[in-house]
């Protein structure tokens, strides 16, 4: 009987639900949110507009966007106890601190216990504003600085850079951060979103699901690729060594970081928007070699594209962060900032037609056997 059971390890290729949030065509390298191409959203929209689109299903009009912006900015607040927790855990990895502080918010803010459509939206908006505050406060405290107070005149992306650095970002820097958040906002049933839906399937609250998502995102197989790409760039050192690096990796049958994706067989459609940002930012900051190293790797990997080894979005993200002087251990927390709207709507969608997600495992252990006591009674 068990020989007839098909095992789909990792649930690869398995549809567990219908969804109206995002569409991915891996063979063509296409991605859309709510029917809008990622290319249009990355070039024409702001993160606030995309967050509204994902959560509410339609792009906002001027009045709706203004109200949403007010709600996001009003939520830029952390209880004092959170700063105490961050101070106590400041030697930890930023993802551990972020997960711990987010969990603490659930205990400190009683409204986090509420479930239902409106509660999820309200708590989600609050967390969208609070996550970047936690990350920026941790970066300040672990470096002996006082956390920077949010600036209500700044957009979500610009305020993040302001809190992180304590200096006003340029318009180009703020826009690039905005695009980065848009590109990472939603991506179907990825590991962290699926984990969040499993949590909501037990009728848990949104904070619990976000903590689950953060713990899942922290794994290097999900959120850690951008950091690994930057380490690769540093290992290569100069553009002329890129081809030899790839040759050595491939000869050893080792993966080249930033290439290949569980879903895409063609190039990740998000990559092109970060590519130009790296080129432009590198030139502005007098460090064009970072872009040149990346392109050297891309050129060396072209023969392997037919095997589905194409550039993914993380290939360029890490260098953007490096050019901004952002520590490598903040790369995954930045991913979380962008992904918050996706987690919110994935949880909302799960809750609307909720069902416990409980797949099966096929037992392959010992047959039934007698129990033998060690002590004679």
How much is the pLDDT for 265? Answer: 64
Burial classification of residue 113, based on how many CB atoms lie within 10 Å of its CB (0-12 exposed, 13-18 middle, 19 or more buried): middle
Tell which residue, 360, 370, 268, 330, has the closest CA to residue 8. Answer: 360
Catalytic residue chosen out of the listed positions 184, 207, 314, 324? 314
How much is the pLDDT for 266? Answer: 64
Top CATH class, 22-172+180-220+330-352: mainly alpha
Domain segments of the chain as ranges:
22-172+180-220+330-352, 225-323
Catalytic status, residue 314: yes
Q: Which residue has the tokens 């080249």?
A: 256
Total count of residues recorded for the chain: 377
Question: Count of CB atoms within 10 A of residue 367's CB?
Answer: 4
How much is the pLDDT for 263? Answer: 67
Beta bridge pairs of residue 33: 22, 36
> Any idea of the CA torsion for 46, 51, 52, 55, to the nearest 10 degrees?
160
How much is the pLDDT for 183? Answer: 94
Task: Please report, in angstroms and rounded to a whole number, the separation of the first and last CA atoms in the chain.
Answer: 40
Contact 297, 236 (CB under 8 A): yes
- The angle that helices 206-217 and 94-108 make with each other, rounded to 10 degrees, is 170
Contact 222, 191 (CB under 8 A): yes
3-state SS, the chain, equals: CHHHCCCCHHHCCCCCCCCCCEEEECCCCEEEECCEEHHHHHHHCCHHHHHHHHHHCCCCCHHHHHHHHHHHHHCCCCCHHHHHHHHHCCCCCHHHHHHHHHHHHHHHCHHHHCCCHHHHHHHHHHHHHHHHHHHHHHHHHCCCCCCCCCCCCCCHHHHHHHHHHCCCCCHHHHHHHHHHHHHCCCCCCCHHHHHHHHHHHCCCCHHHHHHHHHHHHCCCCCCCHHHHHHHHHHHHCCHHHHHHHHHHHHHCCCCCCCECCCCCCCCCCCHHHHHHHHHHHHHHCCCCHHHHHHHHHHHHHHHHHHHCCCECCHHHHHHHHHHCCCCHHHHHHHHHHHHHHHHHHHHHHHHHCCCCCCCCCCCCCCCCCCCCCCCCC
Q: Which CATH superfamily is domain 225-323 in?
A: Cytochrome P450-Terp, domain 2 (1.10.230.10)
Contact 302, 64 (CB under 8 A): no
Catalytic residue chosen out of the listed positions 184, 187, 207, 261? 261
How much is the pLDDT for 323? Answer: 85
* Torsions phi, psi for 184 (to 5 deg): -100, 5
How much is the pLDDT for 262? Answer: 63
How much is the pLDDT for 260? Answer: 66
Under-70 pLDDT residues of the chain: 1-3, 260-266, 376-377
120-136 burial string, b = 16+ CB within 10 Å, else e? bbbbbbbbbbbbbbbbb
How much is the pLDDT for 29? Answer: 80
Contact 49, 60 (CB under 8 A): yes
């Amino acid at each position: 009987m068990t020989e007839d059971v098909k095992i789909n390890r990792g649930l690869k290729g398995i549809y567990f639900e219908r969804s109206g949030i995002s569409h991915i065509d891996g063979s063509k390298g296409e991605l859309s949110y709510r029917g809008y191409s990622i290319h249009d959203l990355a070039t024409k929209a702001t993160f606030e507009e995309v967050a509204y689109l994902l959560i509410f299903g339609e792009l906002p009009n001027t009045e709706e966007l203004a109200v949403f912006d007010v709600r996001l900015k009003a939520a830029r607040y952390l209880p004092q106890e959170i700063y105490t927790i961050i101070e106590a855990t400041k030697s930890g990895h930023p993802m551990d601190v972020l997960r711990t502080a987010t969990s603490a918010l659930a205990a400190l803010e009683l409204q986090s216990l509420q479930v239902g459509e409106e509660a999820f939206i309200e708590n989600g908006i609050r967390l969208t504003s609070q996550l970047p505050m936690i990350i920026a406060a941790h970066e300040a405290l672990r470096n002996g600085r006082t956390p920077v107070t949010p600036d209500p005149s700044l957009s979500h992306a610009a305020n993040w850079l302001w809190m992180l650095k304590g200096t006003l970002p340029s318009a180009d820097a703020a826009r690039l951060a905005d695009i980065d958040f848009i590109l990472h906002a939603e991506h179907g049933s990825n590991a962290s979103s699926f984990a969040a839906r499993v949590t909501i399937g037990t009728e848990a609250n949104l904070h619990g699901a976000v903590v689950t998502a953060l713990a899942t995102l922290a794994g290097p197989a999900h959120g850690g690729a951008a950091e690994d790409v930057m380490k690769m760039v540093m290992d290569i050192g100069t553009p002329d060594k890129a081809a030899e690096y790839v040759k050595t990796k491939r000869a050893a049958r080792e993966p080249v970081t930033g290439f290949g994706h569980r879903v895409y067989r063609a190039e990740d459609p998000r990559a092109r928007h970060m590519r130009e940002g790296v080129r432009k930012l590198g030139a502005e900051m007098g460090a064009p070699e970072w872009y040149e190293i990346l392109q050297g790797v891309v050129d060396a990997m072209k023969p392997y594209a037919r095997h589905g080894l194409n550039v993914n979005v993380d290939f360029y993200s890490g260098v953007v962060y490096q050019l901004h002087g952002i520590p490598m251990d903040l790369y995954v927390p930045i991913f979380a900032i962008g992904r918050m709207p996706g987690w919110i709507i994935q949880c909302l969608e799960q809750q609307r037609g909720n069902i416990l997600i409980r797949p099966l495992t096929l037992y392959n252990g010992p047959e039934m056997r007698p129990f033998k006591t060690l002590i004679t009674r």
